């Protein structure tokens, strides 16, 4: 690995990350303003240098191998650290102090928030967090009561009350998840009507069942629910062993179960809305500098990512 370091460029790493996050070489090329062949060549050269296969190529996109995912996590940290290092020193505010009362729901605590909090702490080590695990309704009630400063919620699950302001941070597309070799994966996309013919595994956390019902009912269809679970790992295991399929956002996607069973994604041909994640706070409140700084950090950091958030695949 050390011998080949001189052959790895920062541009290659950025192309690799764009492909991993987008799940398609074409979307990575659009995001990076280069040709698809440029992305393809960069990734092939990177794989040759590392002597490791980073992606599995499929008709409808690419997914990371296990080795590719480990490499992605390290590269993502490096690029984030580089961005933090070259940020305007005037904005660093190393002497910023205070306490932020922040609540987030289960899914966002597990799959979205920790890395962003870590980056913020690197910039502002003297700011402390009171982090609370609440569901969306409890977050809204706590904000209204003045018990927390900010809430991180799945905005697409709610119609916000007028006293709250909000900012959309990411929009994460929803796709079909199925075990490798599932018959639905043999085409470039699938419909809700096709999916309804197969057993469906329903996640129940973070109002998952309610959000599922919305887009199925809009299509005049119902999923053939075989099992309901609040455990993401149980869901992955059932999917990986072929007991059913599901529709979930890219933010929580991982291409294998705990037992190492392969899980693949397929785009949906029906207009299924993405999962929207955002910050909410009380309107007309004056907040401490550390709260305002964290809020702006979250907004700016997510805005610098691609408009549609896709997890590492």
CB atoms within 10 A of CB 301: 17
For the record, the structure tokens of 70 come out as 């480990």
- Per-residue pLDDT of 78-123, as tens digits, reads 887 787 677 655 555 557 999 999 999 999 999 999 989 998 998 8
Helices 289-303, 113-123: crossing angle, 10 deg rounding: 120
DSSP state of 178: E
Q: Which of 3-7, 217-221, 287-291 has the lowest mean pLDDT?
A: 3-7
Query: Is residue 272 predicted with pLDDT exceeding 80?
Result: yes
Q: What domains can be seen in the chain, in order of their start residue?
A: 5-86 (1.10.10.10), 96-168+279-309 (3.40.190.10), 174-266 (3.40.190.10)
Identify any residues that bridge with 167 across adjacent strands, giving them in sequence order.
279
**pLDDT (0 to 100) of residue 170:** 92
Per-residue pLDDT band at 4 (split at 50, 70, 90): low
Distance of CA 70 to the CA centre of its chain: 16
Q: Report the C-alpha gap between 31 and 28 in whole angstroms.
A: 5
Q: Are 240 and 179 in contact (CB under 8 A)?
A: yes
Q: 3-state class of 152 per DSSP?
A: strand
Q: Which residues have a Cβ under 8 Å from the Cβ of 156 and sit 6 or more positions away?
A: 211, 273, 274, 275, 276
Is the pLDDT confidence value at 285 over 80? no
Phi first, then psi, for residue 284 (nearest 5°) are 65, 20
Alpha helices in the chain (DSSP H): 10-22, 25-32, 36-50, 66-86, 106-111, 113-123, 136-144, 192-195, 208-218, 232-240, 289-303
C-alpha pair distances (Å), 213 with each of 20, 218, 222, 257, 262 = 30, 8, 8, 25, 27
pLDDT surpassing 80 at residue 309: no
Is 22:250 a contact under the CB 8 Å cutoff?
no
User: Can you spell out the DSSP letters for 231-294?
Assistant: -HHHHHHHHHTTS-BEEEEGGG--SB-TT--BEEEE-BSS-PPPEEEEEEEETT----HHHHHH
Instruction: Locate 79 and state its tokens.
Output: 């690029």
Q: What is d(CA 257, CA 232) in angstroms, rounded to the nearest whole number? A: 10
Q: What is the DSSP letter of 187?
A: S
- pLDDT in the model for residue 5: 61
Mean pLDDT of 208-217: 94
Residue 142 backbone dihedrals phi, psi, to 5 degrees = -70, -35
- How far is residue 230's CA from residue 222's CA, in Å, rounded to a whole number? 20
- Tell me what pLDDT residue 61 has: 77
* pLDDT at residue 1 greater than cutoff 50: no
Q: What is the mean predicted confidence (pLDDT) over 286-306?
A: 87
* The pLDDT of residue 310: 44
Question: pLDDT tens across 40-69, in order?
Answer: 998 999 998 988 898 888 767 787 887 887
Whether residue 42 contacts residue 16, with contact meaning beta carbons closer than 8 Å, is answered with yes
Mean pLDDT for the stretch of residues 166-192 = 92
């Amino acid at each position: 690995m050390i011998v080949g370091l001189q052959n790895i460029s920062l541009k290659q790493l950025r192309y690799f990350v764009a492909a991993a996050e987008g799940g398609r070489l074409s979307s990575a090329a659009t995001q990076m303003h280069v040709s698809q062949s440029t992305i393809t060549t960069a990734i092939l050269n990177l794989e040759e240098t590392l002597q490791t296969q980073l992606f599995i190529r499929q008709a409808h996109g690419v997914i990371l191998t296990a080795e590719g995912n480990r490499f992605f996590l390290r590269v993502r940290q490096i690029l984030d650290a580089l961005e933090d290092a070259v940020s305007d020193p005037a904005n660093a505010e190393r002497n910023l102090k205070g306490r932020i009362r922040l609540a987030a729901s289960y899914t966002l605590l597990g799959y979205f928030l920790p890395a962003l909090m870590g980056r913020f702490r690197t910039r502002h080590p003297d700011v402390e967090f009171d982090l609370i695990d609440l569901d969306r309704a409890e977050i809204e009630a706590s904000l209204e009561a003045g018990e927390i400063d900010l809430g991180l919620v799945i905005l697409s699950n709610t119609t916000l009350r007028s006293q709250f302001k909000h900012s959309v941070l990411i929009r994460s597309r929803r796709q079909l998840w199925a075990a490798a070799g599932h018959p639905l994966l043999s085409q470039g996309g699938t419909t809700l009507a096709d999916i309804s013919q197969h057993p469906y595994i329903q996640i129940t956390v973070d109002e998952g069942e309610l959000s599922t019902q919305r887009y199925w009912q809009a299509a005049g269809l119902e999923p053939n629910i075989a099992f309901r679970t609040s455990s993401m790992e149980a869901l992955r295991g059932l999917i990986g062993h072929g007991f059913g399929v599901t529709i979930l956002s890219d933010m929580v996607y991982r291409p294998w179960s705990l037992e190492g069973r392969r899980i693949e994604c397929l785009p949906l041909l029906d207009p299924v809305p993405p999962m929207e994640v955002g910050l909410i706070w009380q309107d007309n409140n004056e907040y401490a500098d550390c709260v305002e700084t964290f809020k702006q950090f979250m907004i700016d950091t997510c805005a610098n990512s691609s408009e549609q958030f896709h997890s590492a695949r």
